[in-house]
Amino acid sequence: MKNMAELIAQQLETMLEQSPDGVIEIQRGALASQFACVPSQVTYVLATRFTQERGYLVESKRGGGGYIRVVKLPLDPRNALPKIIHAIAADPLTQAQAEGYIQWLYREHLLTRREAMMLLAAVDRNVLELPVDLRDTMRSRLLSAMLMALMRAN
């Protein structure tokens, strides 16, 4: 018998496969009691096995009627974007580097013209008015977060 993290991961995977649209919603506490473990165990499983690099997206809401939604991304975006996003997120970015990525994505038709313009505005040094090192970090965070959002949008 495997460890509990594996069991929980398998159950989630099964549920995802049985779901017609590749989206499931669970309640953390409920799943935890089903497996007789602490709720943060579920968080751990999601954090280690349902990551963006593996093609999953996780959203949640707290409070009464709260939930955790797990989305299995379709194959196509799973190849191109995540790798680039990972590269972008890894290190701080200069404006020139950021613009390079954006232009490349635009040329590859992964961004519309409007989307590219928005991203260019967001990475502009006049908009990101911060000390240089912090600015380059924020630029990287922003660009990767926005591109990640795009993956989720489909």
> Cα Rg for the chain, rounded, in angstroms?
18
Work out whether 124 is an interface residue with its own copies (CB under 8 A): yes
- Least separation, in Å, of the C-beta of 148 and DNA? 15
Pick one of 11, 16, 39, 116: the residue that binds DNA (CB under 7 A).
39
Neighbours of 106 (CB within 10 A): 17
Pick one of 49, 78, 125, 141: the residue that binds its own copies (CB under 8 A).
141
- Least separation, in Å, of the C-beta of 101 and its own copies? 14
50: helix, strand or coil: coil
Instruction: Locate 49 and state its tokens.
Output: 């096995």
Residue position matching structure tokens 């579920």: 42
Alpha-carbon distance 94 to 128, whole Å?
Answer: 11
Instruction: Locate 143 and state its tokens.
Output: 């660009």
What is each CA distance from 143 to 85, 102, 124, 131, in whole angstroms? Answer: 8, 9, 11, 18
Pick one of 106, 122, 133, 136: the residue that binds its own copies (CB under 8 A).
122
Work out whether 133 is an interface residue with its own copies (CB under 8 A): no
Work out whether 129 is an interface residue with its own copies (CB under 8 A): yes
Q: Which residues bind DNA (CB under 7 A)?
A: 3-6, 26-30, 37-44, 46-48, 58, 60-68, 125
Binding site for its own copies (CB under 8 A): 1-6, 63-65, 112-115, 117-122, 124, 127-130, 134, 138, 141-142, 145-146, 148-150, 152-154
